[in-house]
A and B are shown apart, each in its own frame.
Chain A
């Protein structure tokens, strides 16, 4: 009786692994296909039946992609966009969140409603006026324009407020009694406690800035002011059917975030997970 039950659980576990492995293959396959295609010649890439592995490693596709697109500049533009947005979001959101969570002040609910409104409406609704603003400031086609709309984060303010509300008040009360003002309490007491919240917010902000396509597409049209996303989209225009070069370009554009993810995967996953459970 007992052994038959064991057999059944064993069979179930085996089935679970089988499904998980099958799912993993489906998730991974497009990446593997990107890698193998990026090393094939055009003729080999169009052969039928397709070859699973390239006959000869053709690294020339990578040089060709790099000649056509100045990836160094794109890395730089993207890093500035992602980095500046992330830092600004962390800095300004924690400040505002602290005030919303811990200080009573007139019109607090009114100001917080502004934060909520930003979170509830679809982002495209801001785009035309934001674009016109960039045009008026003469910022179109500059790296500044890439950063601008991400300078404040309503989501970050909301998330960090929830985070601060979940922290016990004893430490700050002690600090207040010792004569710290609100800024000192925020900076010396709350910020060190909020580290995990800030990591989560930073990862979330960086990931979505990294994936942003429409904004860089509309503000920056010169090749040297593009991001990796728009530069790659541009490469598609030049090499419509040369998939080996396009795949090489895709990998050149993709690897930094994938590497960061693999190095800090625990922080990534826990960070993203915490943005869900706090709401």
Chain B
């Protein structure tokens, strides 16, 4: 009797479990799982006129690895990431450590640094475009005071990527800083008190207490920044106009994907590009997971 009741209840639990995951799982199937498979399939097809597609095997991939535009975009994606990740994360850590000290106005500073995170990227891109403007931009005016410039910040291949990296760092600093600050606040105060008794210098305290104990958060921030930098699109779309000679030197894989998928309508080729990006992201994340054993300290 009791057993029967328990059995009934067990079946009831199962029913509820499937009902409760149903919306999420159905949504994932339709909106995510099927699309991944579909995109991978599309990457093996050739998009003809009128959107009709035919199977070509690895045709898109062989074409892609010989296409100078794709190779350059891959290089650009890496350049942007290498520019944003180390400097951006180190700066975020630097400011998080400063804010973690016992200072007044912590909340105000935190709010200010977080402001770009809540701002529309399109609006942010617009004012940076204006600051970078070759003829009337504030930056070139400041340079001219020192007798330098004018520099084509967004219009020359030499500087465009650098300019985008600066905006990339500026706009994500607050986000990373807030994550790191939360990690820093979890470090028990007693560790620092013990170090004070031993007369440890602030530098020693940073390297022997702060850094190892914040390393799990730092690792998370690194992975996150890597992944988001590898997918850069918004700022290029907004700051580098079509026909700008610097476009070739800044367009990333995601931008190229957008161009082929939704402007040129070559969906097969676009799919191959985005599958290539997927492979890059998975490889880098796997590498990071492997390397973390060497430097991330879990309790």
Query: What residues make up the interface of A, taking CB atoms closer than 8 Å to B?
Result: 13, 16-17, 19-20, 23-24, 26-28, 30-31, 33-34, 37, 45-46, 48-50, 92-93, 95-96, 98-100, 103-106, 108, 111, 114-115, 117-118, 120-131, 133, 148-149, 151-154, 157, 181-183, 186, 207, 210-211, 213-214, 217-218, 228-230, 232-233, 236, 243, 246-247, 249-251, 253-254, 257-258, 260-262, 265, 268-269, 272-277, 279
Contacts and interface: CB of A to CB of B under 8 A. Distances in A.
A258 B278 contact: no
B261 A128 contact: yes
Given A115-B24, A122-B277, A272 B179 contact: yes
A131 B221 CA distance: 31
Interface stretch (B56-64, B187-195, B267-275): B267-275
A13 B202 CA distance: 13
Given A122-B274, A122-B278, A181-B12, 12 more contacts: A50-B136, A95-B21, A95-B23, A96-B23, A117-B36, A124-B258, A125-B39, A129-B39, A152-B23, A218-B262, A229-B120, A251-B123
Nearest to A92: B23
A111 B131 contact: no
Given A24-B109, A34-B123, A250-B123, A126 B32 contact: yes
B65 interface: no
Contacts, number: 279
A133 B30 contact: yes
B interface, over-half SS: helix
Instruction: Identify the interface centre among A50, A181, A218, A269: most chain B CB within 10 Å of its CB.
Output: A269
A122 B231 contact: yes
Contact of B20 (A96, A120, A128, A276): A96
B17 A99 contact: yes
Contacts of A269: 110-111, 114, 178
Chain B residues touching A, range: 35 or more
A151 B278 contact: no
A36 to B, nearest CB: 10
Instruction: Identify the interface centre among B25, B101, B114: most chain A CB within 10 Å of its CB.
Output: B25
Nearest to A49: B141
B20 A126 contact: no
B18 A105 contact: yes
A62 B231 CA distance: 33
B196 to A, nearest CB: 12
Given A13-B103, A24-B112, A34 B127 contact: yes
Interface of B: 12-14, 16-21, 23-25, 27-36, 38-39, 42, 95, 98-99, 101, 103, 107, 109-124, 126-128, 130-131, 133, 135-136, 138, 141, 170, 173-175, 178-179, 181-183, 186, 217, 220-221, 227, 230-231, 233-234, 237-238, 254, 257-258, 261-262, 267, 270-271, 274-275, 277-278, 281-282, 285
A245 to B, nearest CB: 11
Contacts of A130: 31, 35
B216 to A, nearest CB: 9
26 contacts: A20-B109, A27-B115, A50-B141, A92-B24, A98-B20, A99-B18, A103-B16, A103-B17, A114-B25, A117-B32, A121-B278, A126-B31, A128-B261, A128-B271, A133-B30, A182-B12, A182-B13, A213-B234, A213-B237, A218-B261, A232-B122, A233-B237, A253-B123, A269-B114, A276-B179, A277-B217
